[in-house]
Structure 1
Amino acid sequence: MHIMGAVIRPLKNSLDDMPVHVRQLAEMFRKHGQKQTHTSGRVKDLDATDVPQPLRDGWKQDSWHTPDRVVGAGKPNRPYPGEYLDADYIKQHLARFEDGATRFYRADSLGRHGPGNGGTTFVFPTSEIDNLVAQAGGDKKTLGVLLGLGEDYFDDGSVIMRADFSYEEVLNGNLRMPRGSEGGANAQWIPGGYLPEGLPEAVFDVHPEATPSDPSVGGSWGSWNRFTP
């Protein structure tokens, strides 16, 4: 169903006193909810004060998990998304990567650690990245904030590499919803497959041999280019 502003605004206001991860979810859906279409009327037994309505539509009816419980379980113990998210929700979310996946790396970190953190890497839909780059209009701080990387990510003198991956490459790497237990998941992670800023995210496995000896080349894995906003 389409999530209209008239629904989101009062919902968001009602969540002002809710835990931080619930408020982040509400804000995320306020910004990007109009893009979401997924099954409605499937969830009836969740506490409505703990889960924003848009996410409840994709939340499994028989799941005991709530966003705060998922986050609060801690990295090693967080449940798999399939335990609390509807299969249709997950399918539609991952379909957003059919035109490719993209992420940014600092060249020095890439050279030292490779493209994965513990064998996985976060990526975003290429089309969404291109839209955000255009929206930022060359403003580095704005772009960093929109991408959830911080306002100084592109503006501290570091060489930034953009890596683009085909849909086939990420599928071969087991493209999936983030669990929140990945090495790259930080304190801002929330369940549902989005950054708090609203950018869709997913993860896939990175083979150790995929690490390019020269990040500007990237070998046969991905397309790597120096990025200047």
Structure 2
Amino acid sequence: KEGKGADEVKKIVEGGLSESALDSGLTQSQIEKIVNTPKGSRPDPASYLSQEYIEAHLAQFDDGASIIMTKEQYINYVKGNLTIGIPTDRTQFVLPKKYCDDIASKAAGNISFYEKALGFDIGHFSDGGGLVRIDIQNLDGLNLRIPSGNEAGANSHWIPGGKTDGGVPEAILDLIPNDPNNVTVSEIK
């Protein structure tokens, strides 16, 4: 937690990021009903989101996707592995590359900014030895889709509709081949 406090980070994230203008159309009541459904039993997003919304949401990933994780997570779960993602359910949460660029610009190295924007508790990334960014250029064949909230990586911040609680678009992919011709890894700090 460097620089800005949690309240200041929240204010910057809420007012400073290029939030997706797409509106899922879900009411607060619908959101609460889905969130309160036990993980593993939540409905398929196609059952409560329009096809037009889904297509527009996923189009935000046309220029690639990004993953942010701690350096420790990268070393333990990605470096040297054939795939990127959670082996138990074979999924990986991603955000559009252009939103990752925006977060990087606004965060100026502040880990708390990343945590809030991406839907993690403040402090989640603080003990991981810094952050790593993974960019995936070509998503063909990786089954890009809106998360249902049943994924192993869905945490207590997950909300239906394809955005983090920080307003950043998110999606999931199947396990990503860890191929240097399609995957770029860089340290954030």
TM-score by length of 2: 0.75
Higher fraction of helix: 1
Matched, 1:102 2:73: no
Distance in 2 (CA, whole Å) between partners of 1:32 and 1:219 is: 29
Pick from 9, 14, 21: which aligns with 1:36?
Answer: 21
Q: CA deviation at 1:30?
A: 9.2
Q: Shift in Å at residue 104 of structure 1?
A: 1.4
Tell me the distance in 1 between the aligned counterparts of 2:174 and 2:131. Answer: 22
Cα separation, 1, equivalents of 2:46 and 2:149: 13
Tell whether the 8 Å contact from 1:102 to 1:162 is kept in structure 2 after alignment.
yes
TM-score, scaled to structure 1: 0.63
**Partner Cα separation in structure 1 for residue 97 and residue 69 of structure 2:** 15
Return the match for 1:142 from 101, 110, 113. Answer: 113
Aligned to 2:155, which of 183, 186, 194?
186
2:183 corresponding residue in structure 1: 222
* Other-structure match for 1:161: 132
Name the structure, 1 or 2, with higher relative contact order (CA <8 Å, separation 6+).
2
How big is the shift at 1:159?
Answer: 4.3
The AA in structure 2 aligned to 1:148 is: G
Contact 2:120 / 2:157 at 8 angstroms: preserved in 1? no
Residue 6 of structure 2 corresponds to none
Instruction: State the Cα distance separating 1:171 from its structure 2 match.
Output: 3.2
| d(CA) in 2 for partners of 1:33, 1:223 | 23
Q: Distance in 2 between matches of 1:70 and 1:89?
A: 18
Deviation string 1:69-98 (CA, Å, 9 cap, x unpaired) is: 222221111111001100000000001111
Identity %: 30
1:129-167 CA-partner distances (Å, limit 9, x unpaired) = 11111112333333332233444355436143211011x
Residue 133 of structure 1: aligned partner = 104
Q: Secondary structure at the match of 1:110?
A: helix
Instruction: Tell me which amino acid in the other structure corresponds to 1:79.
Output: P
Structure number with larger C-alpha Rg: 1
Contact between 1:90 and 1:177, CA under 8 Å: does it hold in 2? Answer: yes
* Root mean square deviation, CA, Å: 2.9
Distance 1:226 1:121, change over 3 A: same
Higher strand share: 2
Query: What does the per-residue CA deviation read over 1:149-192, in whole Å, with 9 as the maximum and x for residues that have no partner?
Result: 444355436143211011x3x23110000010111001111100
Q: Matches of 1:87 and 1:163 in 2, distance apart?
A: 29
- Count how many residue pairs are aligned between Structure 1 and Structure 2: 169
Q: Which runs of 5+ in 2 are unaligned?
A: 1-12, 79-83
Distance 1:36 1:221, change over 3 A: same
